[in-house]
Amino acid sequence: MSDHIYIDALELRCVIGVHAHERVAPRTLLCDVQLACDTRAAAASDRLEHTLDYDAIAQRLRALAASMQPALLETLAERIAELLQREYGARWLRLRLDKPGAVAGTRGVGIVIERGLRVPA
């Protein structure tokens, strides 16, 4: 069995970039997250406390991003992954960060990372 909670295209705002013009104001990044979890208890009880609360996770990720001013997407991605593992017990996660408009002629550029072991829940 392999259950996942996901958040797709979460808008994060932060100052990020290596170039001076990127350090002037916050920009919007798009974040996709998949978290492995066992959803059977939540399905049986129909209670939020038996699963991962994706609204709470989204709010926490927005707050984290807003508090940082990293130069690299890699830095922000790693901090997000660490938070998800530490605060939400994510055994496995896949995270995609997209920086729309960073490179002319592209829809976006970014990074995808996986952390943890992808094993049945």
List per-block mean pLDDT (blocks of 10 residues) for the chain, which spans 121 residues: 90 97 96 96 95 97 98 98 96 96 92 86 48
Closest listed residue to residue 110, CA positions, set 4, 27, 36, 21: 27
> Distance of CA 99 to CAs 13, 69, 85, Å?
11, 14, 23
Length of the chain equals 121
Fold held by 3-116: GTP Cyclohydrolase I, domain 2 (3.30.1130)
Give the residue extent of every domain in the chain: 3-116
88, 52 contact by CB (below 8 A): yes
Note the pLDDT of residue 38: 92
Note the pLDDT of residue 2: 83
Which two three-digit tokens encode residue 104?
Answer: 């002319």
Which two three-digit tokens encode residue 107?
Answer: 């829809």
Chain centroid, CA 57 distance in Å: 9
Note the pLDDT of residue 54: 95
d(CA 20, CA 29): 18
Note the pLDDT of residue 117: 85
Given its phi and psi angles, is residue 101 left (phi above 0), alpha (psi -120 to 50 degrees) or beta?
left
**Global pTM value:** 0.93
Report the catalytic residues. 99
| 22 three-class SS | helix
